[in-house]
Amino acid sequence: QVQLVESGGGLVQTGGSLRLSCAASGRSISQCASGWFRQAPGEERQFVAAVTRNGRTTYDVASVKGRFTISRDNAERTVYLQMNSLKPEDTAVYYCAVGCRSDSSSYPLSPASYDSWGQGTQVTVSS
């Protein structure tokens, strides 16, 4: 089991930037899928971005493509989400997730592909 701790959330104005970090412990995540999800009050958890075991990245195109960038430092066991040009609708709790099953990287958009979740970090974008 991988333990995940997110950090980097906070309050930012529209147009600002934040970088979220997700530190993993317990095992290497280099052969795992790593993803970011978010959940706003009263809404379902939404896929944001993922990087597969082969380093392929995928994004929720409609909401974040071109503004957010996911990356992973395998040596540091850390996954990042760089968020630029933030909008009020990006306000949510952001969760990091890791899936190390053989099929996790085949379906990176699905929460079911992930076995480990962080506690979440709040991102608030003011208008």
Model pLDDT, residue 110: 93
d(CA 126, CA 114): 31
- Which residues lie across from 74 on neighbouring strands? none
Nearest residue to 85 (alpha-carbon basis) of 26, 11, 17, 3: 17
Structure confidence at residue 61 (pLDDT):
78
> What is residue 2's predicted lDDT score, i.e. its pLDDT?
94
Closest to 99 in 3D by CA, of 76, 120, 79, 69 = 79
Residue 8's pLDDT is 98
Q: What digits encode the pLDDT tens for the residues 44-55?
A: 999 999 999 999
Note the pLDDT tens digit of each residue in 10-28. 999 999 999 999 999 999 9
pLDDT of residue 45: 95
Please list the ranges in the chain whose pLDDT falls under 70: none
Residue 62 has what pLDDT?
87
Residues 38, 58: Cα–Cα separation, whole Å: 15
What type of residue sits at position 57? T
Angstrom distance (rounded) from CA 24 to CA 67:
24
Neighbours of 12 (CB within 10 A): 17
Let me know: does 81 contact 68? Beta carbons within 8 Å: yes
Q: What is the pLDDT of residue 65?
A: 80
